[in-house]
Amino acid sequence: MAEKEDARVIRTRKIIEETTIILLTTQTDFSITDLLKRANVTRGTFYKYYRNKDHLISEVNNVLLLEFTQHIHGKFNLVKMIQAVSERAAFYNAVLNLNKDKDYFAALMSRMRTQMQAQLSTLDDEKVRRRQTFQWEIVTGGFWALIAKWLLEDMNLPQPDLLSDLIEILRINTSGWTQTGLSLFDFELSDSK
């Protein structure tokens, strides 16, 4: 049986991780000393949980990936994806617009593609699968481009309007989705699910 983690350990790791996210957002070349000072954590405590800065960043990216990818199981829930980006707007702006933490976005796209491929693996027709993969890439590319612009403009557009703009930009017709890559996305404006 797995041992339960002490609440203090969880809290300390959370402080280190959240401070790392702030530093990744503002200055990717931060030192462990900068991190420790800002998080008010000792060097011994840091090395108790992380081997080095790269290990820490890898762990933080994994936490962020888990946080985000919970919205892509089954259909890709665009409303929840926008909300997740919004909750960490400074981080995503740094990743998308300032080219910081390149590993995170590459890993995120890899996980998104893996999920898409898993959904399409049930299709027998290779031609349909290729077409839906291509359409998925277009919607995803449009989504991230729109999100990057939205963040760059200080999220001055309400989230429902942002999703409506994505639908309009892609000129999405809501009929006949089952045979297209659009069936992999949830475009519903309400978050009542």
Q: HSE-up of 165 (CA within 13 Å, CB side)? A: 15
Q: Give the three-class secondary structure for 142.
A: helix
Q: What's the confidence (pLDDT) of residue 1?
A: 44
CA 170 to chain centre: 21
Q: How are the residues of the chain apportioned to helix, strand and coil, as percentages rounded to the nearest 5?
A: 70, 0, 30
Model pTM greater than 0.85?
no
Q: Which amino acid is at 121?
A: S
What averages of pLDDT result for each successive group of 10 residues across the chain (193 residues)? 72 95 90 96 96 94 92 86 94 91 90 91 89 88 91 91 82 54 67 46
CA 5 to chain centre: 26
Of 36, 39, 50, nearest to 11 by C-alpha is: 39
Cβ atoms of 143 and 162 closer than 8 Å: no
Structure tokens that stand for 8 in this block: 């203090």
Q: What's the confidence (pLDDT) of residue 95?
A: 92
Q: What is the dihedral of CA 126, 129, 130, 132, to 10 degrees?
A: 160
What's the rounded Cα separation, in Å, for the pair 30 and 42? 16
Q: What's the confidence (pLDDT) of residue 190?
A: 61
